[in-house]
Structure 1
Amino acid sequence: MQHKLLKVHPADNVIVALQNFQPGEQVDFEGQTYNLPIGVGVKHKFVTEDLQTGDSVIMYGVLVGKATQPIKRGEPITTFNLKHDADQYGIEKKQPYTWHQPDVSAWHNRTFMGYHRADGMVGTANYWLVVPLVFCENRNILILKDAFERELGYAQSEIYREQVHEMLQLYKVGEIDRVHKMEAFLDPSMVRTLDEPQVKRPFSNIDGIKFLTHEMGCGGTRQDSEALCGLFAGFINNPNVAGVTVLSLGCQHTQTSMLVDEVRRRNPKFNKPMLIFEQQDGTEYAMLTNAIRETFLGLIEANKLERKPAPLSSLTIGLKCGGSDGFSGLSANPAIGHLSDILVTLGAKTVLAEFPELNGVEQELINRSVSDEKALKFIHLMQDYSAKAEAVGSGFDMNPSPGNIRDGLITDAIKSAGAAKKGGTAPVADVLNYTEPATVPGLNLLCTPGNDVEATTGMAGSGTNIILFTTGLGTPTGNPICPVVKISTNTALLRRMPDVIDFDSGPIIEGEETIEQNAEELLEYVIRLASGEVKTKAQQLGQDDFIPWKRGVSL
């Protein structure tokens, strides 16, 4: 009988179960027979040799943990017998690195239909932003959101409101039993209905008006205010954004002058409309009336821009994972890693974030850095981040969530080694601190937390115009200005959550496709998405997540 097993790297002393095995089963793999005394769940790993307390566990060819008690051959690794551990790293250990570029001849002349900006960047979408410099303006932002979205056709479907209305009518006539019997399940095939405009959209070349809210801007540290201005400056400069309306109270830490300076510092050629309104200059009514008028006029101008062909080298693609499982590092992550290598070879930019999820593979990334300067910056950011976490009694080893652990990611090093596969094998062209713009073609490392929304928010702030997001457990995460493509690591997830998942890498696990084949299919989808031919499920659901990182400890 052919058992579904996988050894990721020749040096590994664990084998991954691609199916469930019952206690007492015998399995054959690469000429060896293993007795599984207590069974092994799908996505989990069992050891290939007897281990003693303190012995190393190797996966992906790197140290991922140390045994805390003896583990017999064929027994699974668990949180009870394994603790996180990772190899030390440093610039003194840097080794020469040779990269073998993939064959990209099939993609050389491919283009996408994008929005060409005056500064030379190309957007995959055309959004108008409305942002508050301080939380005091959140209410006014929501007032503008209701007014613009309803009248211009960008509001979400009324389906759920209609469900409540129907239940209310039944309640009024005393038919509570009928409410209990109402079918609560919404057919996933109706997802597109959720995105249908309530009125015909008059601005056909504007993909949406995005209204952001947050809880920052005053009362925190000046560093937080500066970081917030830097983040907004990144969003405003993002090639997917046509213009911005800014609401300010007037007295807050995040002054409008700080925002303008940050925008200009990132892009001296900046020439997009930036409309700024301060409430303390007069009445709320006057401010909102002026904001509505000027924003509407800005939309008229932004709508004049049309999609035109652009080379794939104009793309900036974010690489992210969340709700990860034991298959993430085996299917979806290496698939988008190969896609990244293709785009890097073509001259595009890719951005790998989540520094807590690079724990254990630092030396590999140091070796891949194009210069000692880049490597040292990466080391500094990693060590500084780790030290801040440890200073408050936390650490990168606390990164895996209960869901991660339940589905096979026992230590942070196991999770990280699989997460790093999203970066492919290309050299590290640049290393970015939070909110720094990605300007160098190639693979960029961006310092963000692993937190899904803080990371995707940071990526958009650094200029990504599409984010590839792998998930094994499922998450609805989206972004206001960057389409987020949800890629399932296993086909069971696609079947369970078809209203969330855009693309399936499960065929890799099933042996139906290679990593390369799956990556190339995904790239075709990305080109269609970049051209506005399709929408992600997160876009259809109106999933516009935005959480600034306050630079405290967030893993």
Structure 2
Amino acid sequence: MTNPSAGVLVLRDDDHVGVATRDLPAGTAVPLPGGTTLVVRHGIPRGHKVALRAVPTGGPVHKYGQSIGRATCDIAPGDHVHTHNLGMADDERTYEVGTARTTLPAPTQPRTFDGYRRADGRWGTRNYVGIVTSVNCSASTARLIADQFRGRVLEAYPHVDGVVALTHDTGCGLVPTSEGAQLTLRTLRGYADHPNIAALLVLGLGCEMLPPAAVLDGLDLPADKPVRVLSIQETGGIRRTVRAGVAAIEDMLPEVDALRREPAPVSELVLGLNCGGSDGYSGITANPALGRASDLLVAHGGTSVLAETPEVFGAEHLLLRRAVSRDVAQRLLDRIDWWKQYTAAGGGTLDNNPSPGNKAGGLTTILEKSLGAVAKAGTADLTAVYEYAERVTTRGLAFMDTPGYDPVSVTGLVAGGATVVVFTTGRGSVLGCKPTPSIKVATNTATYLRMTEDMDLNAGRIVDGTATLEQVGQEIFDLVVEVASGRQTVSEELDLGADEFVPWQLGAVT
């Protein structure tokens, strides 16, 4: 990678494009490696691509040493390369399984975090009372109950992180045995069983297709997690249910507050990897730095989980090379094939992504976005592939099939057991995800300075030349350990995360 202070970042010697590290007016002369000079032909915004060499119509355009699409017209050196001259190329990719497996360097010394030991052997990073709703009809009642514990009410319980109402838009009108209903149930059960939920109130209406009993059915909840179940109809309406719900939580609070943090190996952490509001810097700064942090956690024996299948499409061949078996590789390919059919049935394609905000930030095709997105997964071997909201039980780097839509994707990761989430953003996403803390990492300094009160860390220093990938990766890893030990993230300071509980909805509503 060349010196970014020159104005254009060249990522690979054979790339056709570089990335502008500042706004480049037309006529700007930019020095390139080898002593040559590139003259910018058109104004190019920061984070966007500039052509380093000529590409004929139909020719492949490379970035990161990989194809990000094909030229839709002749491209000359110095041209702005974006949606007006670069299109999708769904070329056949060569799939190799396990050819790039690696052994991560062993850590020089063990690391610990201060967490909550649960009776089932898992470790929590937070101590929440959760209200899990079986149906949308109980959502307002759940929020009314949770609202009674806002403000200074919990000051008498300093070891309780809060009472969170996990409400959603479904739970009825579904065929209970359908894929959509089962996916919703799996998500609700994942939150009910989450190690960051120390006590649980399950709340339903009483006549829904997915009743409260279904949420608990089959769960082997730890013996130290108190559970209460209420039905609005059986309890006598909303007002009586709110009073009963408040009383039930007040009864559980002393037991939750009595729990204390104790040292645990970082191998007990499950780290969710996600990105949103990406830009042209995402794949250069925050995502690869998060990949370094992910590798550090995996090297310590921990678990990292990549997600967002539509934002892996086009870069799946890189993950397959790191798959530990053909079965793992095939599971990933099967999910990508499912998405192709799913988007086609909806009248779209996987290249409907990137979003308008991504494009404004310099990303053009899903191939380009995906190549930057998979950088979050570092270099570790791919050990497992999970369905949405499926419980993650393996160690090492895993993948979970989720949409790219941020709250839906993160909801799946948390349902699968993620106890910390790191969320990278170039445009400035403001996601929280109770009961799991969300660490937000800005990809560029301009966004970080504009939204300092919403960001936890600035990875833009990598392009500024004031920090290296290795340094920022270590900083992210250290911050993960600190947050797992109780340090609040900015989203937690703002009390974000309840509204971002958004289970993926599939199937017909009857």
CA RMSD in angstroms, aligned pairs only: 1.9
Does residue 112 of the first structure (1) align with residue 113 of the second (2)? yes
Residue 151 of structure 1 deviates from its aligned partner by 6.2
Larger radius of gyration: 1
* Aligned residue in 1 for 2:186: 230
Residue 98 of structure 1 deviates from its aligned partner by 3.1
Distance 1:297 1:347, change over 3 A: same
- Give 3-state SS (helix, strand or coil) of 2:73's partner: coil
Conserved? CA contact 2:106–2:300, under 8 Å: no
Does residue 217 of the first structure (1) align with residue 171 of the second (2)? yes
1:19 partner letter: R
Which structure 2 segments of 5+ residues have no match?
none
Q: Deviations over 1:251-303 (max 9, x none)?
A: 21112332123534xx7x66622211122324124443333222221121111
- Give 3-state SS (helix, strand or coil) of 1:149's partner: coil
Segments of 4+ moved more than 6 angstroms: none
2:467 partner letter: E
Conserved? CA contact 2:101–2:380, under 8 Å: no
Q: Which of residues 506, 515, 519 is equivalent to 2:473? A: 519
- Give 3-state SS (helix, strand or coil) of 1:12's partner: coil
* Aligned residue in 1 for 2:49: 45
The equivalences for 1:458-497 within 5 A come to 458-497=412-451
* Aligned residue in 2 for 1:158: none
- Give 3-state SS (helix, strand or coil) of 1:373's partner: helix
Q: Which of residues 16, 22, 42 is equivalent to 1:19? A: 22
* Aligned residue in 2 for 1:71: 75
Q: Deviations over 1:373-419 (max 9, x none)?
A: 11111110111012110122112101111111111101111111101
* Aligned residue in 2 for 1:244: 200
Q: Which of residues 344, 352, 359 is equivalent to 1:398? A: 352
The equivalences for 1:338-377 within 5 A come to 338-377=292-331
- Distance in 1 (alpha carbons) for counterparts of 2:396 and 2:13: 29
- Percent of aligned positions with the same letter in both sequences? 35
- Distance in 2 (alpha carbons) for counterparts of 1:271 and 1:225: 29
Conserved? CA contact 2:130–2:199, under 8 Å: yes
Does residue 255 of the first structure (1) align with residue 211 of the second (2)? yes
2:46 partner letter: V
* Aligned residue in 1 for 2:140: 139
- Distance in 1 (alpha carbons) for counterparts of 2:105 and 2:285: 18
Distance 1:204 1:508, change over 3 A: same
Conserved? CA contact 1:316–1:464, under 8 Å: yes
- Give 3-state SS (helix, strand or coil) of 1:382's partner: helix
- Distance in 1 (alpha carbons) for counterparts of 2:224 and 2:421: 25
Q: Deviations over 1:43-97 (max 9, x none)?
A: 1112222212111011112211011111112212111111122443476x43522
1:101 partner letter: L
2:112 partner letter: T
The equivalences for 1:133-532 within 5 A come to 133-150=134-151, 152-153=153-154, 201-222=155-176, 223-264=179-220, 272-284=225-237, 285-532=239-486
Which structure 1 segments of 5+ residues have no match?
154-200
- Distance in 2 (alpha carbons) for counterparts of 1:279 and 1:38: 63
- Distance in 2 (alpha carbons) for counterparts of 1:87 and 1:462: 33
- Distance in 1 (alpha carbons) for counterparts of 2:507 and 2:43: 41
* Aligned residue in 2 for 1:170: none
Residue 350 of structure 1 deviates from its aligned partner by 0.5
- Distance in 1 (alpha carbons) for counterparts of 2:390 and 2:94: 24
Conserved? CA contact 1:478–1:484, under 8 Å: yes
Q: Deviations over 1:340-377 (max 9, x none)?
A: 00100110000111111111111111111111111111
Distance 1:292 1:209, change over 3 A: same
- Distance in 2 (alpha carbons) for counterparts of 1:382 and 1:270: 39
Conserved? CA contact 2:274–2:422, under 8 Å: yes
Conserved? CA contact 1:64–1:86, under 8 Å: no
TM-score by length of 1: 0.86
- Distance in 2 (alpha carbons) for counterparts of 1:495 and 1:322: 18
Distance 1:18 1:221, change over 3 A: farther
* Aligned residue in 1 for 2:493: 540
- Give 3-state SS (helix, strand or coil) of 1:443's partner: strand
Distance 1:227 1:95, change over 3 A: closer
Moved more, 507-516 or 273-282: 273-282
2:270 partner letter: T
Conserved? CA contact 1:233–1:262, under 8 Å: no
- Distance in 1 (alpha carbons) for counterparts of 2:215 and 2:92: 40
2:365 partner letter: T
- Distance in 1 (alpha carbons) for counterparts of 2:37 and 2:165: 59
- Distance in 2 (alpha carbons) for counterparts of 1:462 and 1:328: 25
- Distance in 1 (alpha carbons) for counterparts of 2:322 and 2:507: 29
Residue 219 of structure 1 deviates from its aligned partner by 1.4
Give the total of aligned pairs.
Answer: 499
Q: Which of residues 6, 9, 23 is equivalent to 2:9? A: 6
Distance 1:102 1:74, change over 3 A: farther
- Give 3-state SS (helix, strand or coil) of 1:263's partner: coil
- Distance in 2 (alpha carbons) for counterparts of 1:425 and 1:552: 36
- Give 3-state SS (helix, strand or coil) of 2:452's partner: coil
- Distance in 2 (alpha carbons) for counterparts of 1:551 and 1:416: 24
Distance 1:104 1:438, change over 3 A: same
Conserved? CA contact 1:314–1:348, under 8 Å: yes
- Distance in 1 (alpha carbons) for counterparts of 2:402 and 2:225: 27
* Aligned residue in 2 for 1:128: 129
Moved more, 79-88 or 64-73: 79-88
2:233 partner letter: Q
- Give 3-state SS (helix, strand or coil) of 2:496's partner: coil
- Give 3-state SS (helix, strand or coil) of 1:148's partner: coil
